Amino acid sequence: MEINITESANKWFHEEMDLEEGDGIRFLGKLYGKTEVHDNFSVGLRIDEPQDVLAEKKINGITYFIEKMDDWFFSGYDFEVDYDEETEDIKYKFIKQ
């Protein structure tokens, strides 16, 4: 699996989460909500340090990653994070492998 973070999404994270070089953003599955491929689950995120990494992408000193314990949520997909100008928020896309 791959994580892809667009330039506009990376900019959003820096501005909205006040990130500094060396910070990490973890993506995980969380109960409640919905994604394009999951019912009753949505994507959560938090500032965290990588421990047991399934996939990661480093951009300008920031590590975006998914832990192996969240493989159940991301398995079979590449994961893309983009910025949506209409909602002024990030959006997620699951791309079947």
Question: Where residue 52 sits, what CATH number does that domain have?
Answer: 2.60.300.12
**Structural domain count, the chain:** 1
The domain in which residue 73 lies consists of 3-96
Amino acid, res. 69: M
Specify the pairing of strand 24-34 against strand 62-67. Answer: parallel
Q: What is the pLDDT of residues 33-83, one digit of tens each?
A: 676 767 767 899 999 999 999 999 999 999 999 999 999 989 999 999 999
Burial 61-86 (b: 16+ CB within 10 A, else e): ebbbbbbeebeebbeebebbbbbeee
Q: Is the pTM of this model over 0.75?
A: yes
